Structure 1
């Protein structure tokens, strides 16, 4: 007899108190399975080693907060002397929260069990880095297929989902250029399509110290970071973040909400009601309540840090409420 589908109604789903995915680096790295791709020798390993150090010590990454925890770095193209040299180049204080391994079993041959065993014995783990993905795959380059790529990624994704951690697989780019940097990730669409996030590091030119880091994912906004490699300190430094420019120029709904809250000082009602209030103030763009809530979630940190506006999402049995207040206003009686 065919097993019946397990279903849930939209109404019941809205009533559930579900845990949201953990954020490892705000606006940049949520929990899940991610691909970091770039050309050979571009500096991918320097970048992930520094990210490991920042998460292990709880320090910010380009000004973004991190969730402090243990890190497992599978550096499979290097030996311990090189890892030690690189670590000493980026920090004076190595952390006990970072563990390194230079050899593992392959995917499909015990790697998943090795990673899971480490996490079970180290429940504070936040990040696992596999550098590089090709080193743990048993297939040769001539056996690349969507099915095989999807199978490999799904095996790792199952761990990230089960333990709510981030797994970053360092990978290579195709030699062929493309207007969409994510199309340059080596392999089939099974890799990037099944991953929760993709990161592509591209230098301005081979001899340049400047590069762009393109970011896309299911739980993070599409972002482009302008970076420069500091050869003295061996660090990728942030020189420009386009998300702020996008906020200023391409998000009129957020600007309209800022103006509204500056005048009203506070708001406590649904997204639907807020859209009707903004329409009364002259805002004309058509946008759904769900899209408005999504935009507010993605811009909550920027609104807080740049404009001192605080947003809280409150769940009630029959509806979801937005609580927005002007942090510059000291009169709490304005809050409905």
Structure 2
């Protein structure tokens, strides 16, 4: 009997809020199954060990933030003595979240159950490294079908447990212009994994290498590395990316609007008028979905809607659900924002009731707001101009925050992280007077 075909429309997919991808290493290793491949003695096991230490300590790896949690490292070609020696080369402080095993069952013959049991005992398990893949394989034949079928259970397990599994593997001796074609075995290994990392040295005894990265949820990258002692570090100089303030901008605007109903173009116009910068209607809905969990923690919910053939966005703000307690989160931007544009609204404490009783045909747009006479913006310290600090040759305004502000922001970030990763809702705390 033919099974029923289950489908979703393009509209359903694009208007459904999905849980965001969680990264063990930001932009480098997401939840799922990955291969870290390199030639023998190239330093891939050192990089794998440094990865485990970084994740368990919550420290950056290759200047990328990590999500802290426990890690399980299957060192199947090493001894505890060799592991001890490497650990002391990398750190003086042990991590109580990093665990090692010298033996493991093979794929399909107990390995999955071993990892599941470890996860049940360590709920914060973030990362599993298997060094090497060859030690847990059963198949001797290497074809696309056999390679794919053998390791796909680990991919399914990573998705089931919400963790990252890294398989340390070897490269073929034959050179290729595409480093990912050098991964030993058939392309079935690449097909079954969510991403691949290839570590290549120009000279066997050299200290320079390139880490090639590709994957489903990560951008293709080539990272120039150099060995400093036992650690791999970035050789290239990278400018820090500007912070993503989209959620802060929407939050701060909604604390004044309380509710909004209008097109993406109208919302972009309001954001640009209030904060300056560039906001694009064709990207705004996408950005709202990407930041939906962060916005919800800040008391802002949204819903896409069709009305008379027009696509609209419905936004609501509830101060009682705002982890920042209604505080403004956007840094001052006197060089871009228009100080003459302000927005007035009623008390947001009645947001839910007002929104529920609003006429379906009513909308909140740029025409709903008036521009009062401009007022001079004066910094809190009374100075005529804000203070600046030079970062990478650029002037960045110094913004002061109170201790309460910093505590609220840190708490909001932790609550959002717990909700995104574990679905746990932590109520807002109140500071003692």
**TM-score scaled by structure 1?**
0.76
Cα deviation code 1:126-178 (max 9, x no counterpart):
000000000100122xx111111111221100111112111000000010111
Distance 1:151 1:291, change over 3 A: farther
Cα deviation code 1:195-249 (max 9, x no counterpart):
1111000012212110000001111111111111123xx111111167x69x9xx
Q: Which residue of 1 aligns with 2:304?
A: 317
Q: Which residue of 1 aligns with 2:37?
A: 37
| Conserved 8 A contact 2:76-2:131 | yes
Distance 1:241 1:188, change over 3 A: farther
Q: Which residue of 1 aligns with 2:101?
A: 101
Equivalent residues in 2 for 1:1-336 (5 A)? Answer: 1-140=1-140, 143-231=141-229, 234-240=230-236, 270=264, 289=282, 316-318=303-305, 327-329=331-333
| Conserved 8 A contact 1:271-1:293 | no
Bigger Cα Rg? 2
| Conserved 8 A contact 1:271-1:292 | no
Distance 2:169 2:178 in 1: 17
| Conserved 8 A contact 2:34-2:195 | yes
Q: Unpaired runs of 5+ in structure 1?
A: 248-260, 275-286, 298-312
The structure with higher relative contact order (CA 8 Å, sep 6+) is 1
* Comparing 1-10 and 18-27, the one that deviates more: 1-10
| Conserved 8 A contact 1:224-1:241 | no
| Conserved 8 A contact 1:127-1:166 | yes
Distance 1:271 1:292, change over 3 A: farther
Q: 1:11 Cα shift?
A: 2.3
Name the SS for the 2:236 alignment partner: strand
Distance 1:185 1:230, change over 3 A: same
Name the SS for the 2:112 alignment partner: helix
Distance 2:237 2:210 in 1: 10
| Conserved 8 A contact 1:76-1:101 | yes
Distance 1:36 1:165 in 2: 16
Q: Over aligned residue pairs, what C-alpha RMSD do you find? A: 3.7
* Comparing 66-75 and 221-230, the one that deviates more: 221-230
Distance 2:120 2:130 in 1: 18
Name the SS for the 2:232 alignment partner: strand
| Conserved 8 A contact 1:271-1:290 | no
Distance 1:272 1:163 in 2: 41
Cα deviation code 1:245-276 (max 9, x no counterpart):
9x9xxxxxxxxxxxxx9xxxx9x9748997xx
Distance 1:202 1:89, change over 3 A: same
| Conserved 8 A contact 1:56-1:69 | yes
Cα deviation code 1:82-119 (max 9, x no counterpart):
11111111111111100100001111211111111111
| Conserved 8 A contact 1:226-1:241 | no
Distance 1:225 1:100, change over 3 A: same
Distance 1:20 1:116 in 2: 23
**TM-score scaled by structure 2?**
0.59
Distance 2:21 2:331 in 1: 27
Name the SS for the 1:240 alignment partner: coil
